[in-house]
């Protein structure tokens, strides 16, 4: 990493979101019951780097993205852009924040309005963010520039089109262009290619990678496909049942996963070559995948403990802090507690350790 890349653009600490449970369900055991969607998550995004957030369905990935984009108020924790926290929703500082931090959704069809053309979507975004220029000529240049950035050229061929006249990949490129109209520093991409045909996924990921380099964007790439994280992301973080369980550089996390959950995730991925190279021993088979836990009454201690083949007594009672596995990787797992006394010695400062 260069010096510029080491300073975080966007940071979250102690990020927590509990959704109140309404209505009478089997799990509503007490008043004030809540879905513990995200608990005590710490992460930082850096200029010119892609950070993947990987986890199975319901693990809280989209909630993290919505909290970072400030689309939803958080239950607890802090989010800082360039070290400054935005505490009040609404107002000038909040609008500036929303410009800097743009979210791209999984389904471009849902995020684009079917009754409006590409020209309308992009013009509106440029105007809202004050980048439409002073006259019609400036606007045309800005539109052509935006479409050029997402490789939809010549621009005239696309400007008059409606979302249904575009392919899925083209629609996602328009959604990306609209996000770029804000001239953001951070792109939060929530499963940006999972709705696209396999054959065009790579093109969109490569485009995001080029944009990251060209504009030094900090990118959060949310996916349930850990293989794509390895291909596309510089760093990878793994989430399980609302908590971060492992993180580090993508190569290390995907080739030598440390947390038993990450190993399980890789072992259950469909590529046999990857299973062999990443897991080594076939201690975890797909049959072990099991069910994720209830988030209304999540397991005490480590949330993975009911499914973990290495479970120890303390895993059932104590939430593991982050332990450094090596200089490129950490895991929130008691297996990596280096202290012989059994007392935790987290290797990251308590404020940074996701579960401390
Ligand atoms: N508005 C809401 N109200 C209540 N519960 C919610 C709300 N939004 C999300 N949840 C719950 O929070 C948990 C995390 O959901 P989230 O959408 O963040 O998961 P995800 O990792 O993005 O899953 P997927 O891979 O399916 O997109 C889930 O149990 C979900 O049902
Ligand atoms: Mg999601």
Q: pLDDT for 87-122, tens place per residue? A: 777 888 888 999 999 999 988 778 899 999 999 999
Rounded to the nearest whole angstrom, what is the distance from the C-alpha of residue 337 to the centroid of ligand 1? 31
**Residues 193-206: what's their mean pLDDT?**
91
298 lines ligand 1 (CB under 6 A): no
Distances (CA, A) of 107 to 76, 104, 162, 163, 266: 29, 9, 16, 12, 25
106 lines ligand 1 (CB under 6 A): no
pLDDT at residue 29 in the model: 55
User: If you ran DSSP here, which 8-state letter would residue 29 be given?
Assistant: -
Q: Ligand 1, residue 21: give the atom nearest the CA.
A: 4
Q: Ligand 1, residue 72: give the atom nearest the CA.
A: 1
pLDDT at residue 356 in the model: 30
3-state SS assignment for residue 54: strand
Rounded to the nearest whole angstrom, what is the distance from the C-alpha of residue 53 to the centroid of ligand 2? 11
Q: Ligand 1, residue 55: give the atom nearest the CA.
A: 21
> What digits encode the pLDDT tens for the residues 213-252?
999 999 999 999 999 999 899 999 999 999 999 999 999 9
d(CA 348, CA 234): 20
Tell which one of 17, 23, 39, 61 to mutate to probe ligand 1, the residue whose CB is within 8 A of the most ligand atoms: 61
On the question of pLDDT at 24 being above 60, the answer is no
**Residues 260-283: what's their mean pLDDT?**
64
d(CA 237, CA 100): 22
Rounded to the nearest whole angstrom, what is the distance from the C-alpha of residue 61 to the centroid of ligand 1? 8
**Residues 193-219: what's their mean pLDDT?**
93
The residue contributing the CA closest to ligand 1 atom 6 is 19
Average pLDDT, the chain: 87
> What digits encode the pLDDT tens for the residues 290-309?
678 889 999 999 999 999 99
pLDDT at residue 25 in the model: 53
Whole-prediction pTM? 0.88
Q: Ligand 1, residue 242: give the atom nearest the CA.
A: 14
Task: Indicate the CATH number of 45-65+87-336 among 3.40.50.720, 3.40.980.10, 3.40.50.300, 3.30.1130.10.
Answer: 3.40.50.300
Q: Ligand 1, residue 224: give the atom nearest the CA.
A: 25
**Domains of the chain by residue range:** 45-65+87-336
3-state SS assignment for residue 230: helix
Tell which one of 18, 54, 62, 107 to mutate to probe ligand 1, the residue whose CB is within 8 A of the most ligand atoms: 62
* Alpha-carbon torsion (221, 225, 229, 232), positive or negative: negative
Give the HSE-up count for residue 331: Cα atoms under 13 Å, Cβ half-sphere: 21
Q: What are the strands of the beta sheet with 84-85, ordered from one edge?
A: 34-46, 8-20, 76-81, 84-85
Please report, rounded to a whole number, the percentage of residues in the chain having pLDDT higher than 90. 73
* Alpha-carbon torsion (285, 243, 351, 45), positive or negative: positive
Residue of 222, 290, 223 whose CA lies nearest to 260? 290
pLDDT at residue 9 in the model: 96
> What digits encode the pLDDT tens for the residues 115-165?
999 999 999 999 999 999 999 999 999 999 999 999 999 999 999 999 999
The residue contributing the CA closest to ligand 1 atom 28 is 58
């Amino acid at each position: 990493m260069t010096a510029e890349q080491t300073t975080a653009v966007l940071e979250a600490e102690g990020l927590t979101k509990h959704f109140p449970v309404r209505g009478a369900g089997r799990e509503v055991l007490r008043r004030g019951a809540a879905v513990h969607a995200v608990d005590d998550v710490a992460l930082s995004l850096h200029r010119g780097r892609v950070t993947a957030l990987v986890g199975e369905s319901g693990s809280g990935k989209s909630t993290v993205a919505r909290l970072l984009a400030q689309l939803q108020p958080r239950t607890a924790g802090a989010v800082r852009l360039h070290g400054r926290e935005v505490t009040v929703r609404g107002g000038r500082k909040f609008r500036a924040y929303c410009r800097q931090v743009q979210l791209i959704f999984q389904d471009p069809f849902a995020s684009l309005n079917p009754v409006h053309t590409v020209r309308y979507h992009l013009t509106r975004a440029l105007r809202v963010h004050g980048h439409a220029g002073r006259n019609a000529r400036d606007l045309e240049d800005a539109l052509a520039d935006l479409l050029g950035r997402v490789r939809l050229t010549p621009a005239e061929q696309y400007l008059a089109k409606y979302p249904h006249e575009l392919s899925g990949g083209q629609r996602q490129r328009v959604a990306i262009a609209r996000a770029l109209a804000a001239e953001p520093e951070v792109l939060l991409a929530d499963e940006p290619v999972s709705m696209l045909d396999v054959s065009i996924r790579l093109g969109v990921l490569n485009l995001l990678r080029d944009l990251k380099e060209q504009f030094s964007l900090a990118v959060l790439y949310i996916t349930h496909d850990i293989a794509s994280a390895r291909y596309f992301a510089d760093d990878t973080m793994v989430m399980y049942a609302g908590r971060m369980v492992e993180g580090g550089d993508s190569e290390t996390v995907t080739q030598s996963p440390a947390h038993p959950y990450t190993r399980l995730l890789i072992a259950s991925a469909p590529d046999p070559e990857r299973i062999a190279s990443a897991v080594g021993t076939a201690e975890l088979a797909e049959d072990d995948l099991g069910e994720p836990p209830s988030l209304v009454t999540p397991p005490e201690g480590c949330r993975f403990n009911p499914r973990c083949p290495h479970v120890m007594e303390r895993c059932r009672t104590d939430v593991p802090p982050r332990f450094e596995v090596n200089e490129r990787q950490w895991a929130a797992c008691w297996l990596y507690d280096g202290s012989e006394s059994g007392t935790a010695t987290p290797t990251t400062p308590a404020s940074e350790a996701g579960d401390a």
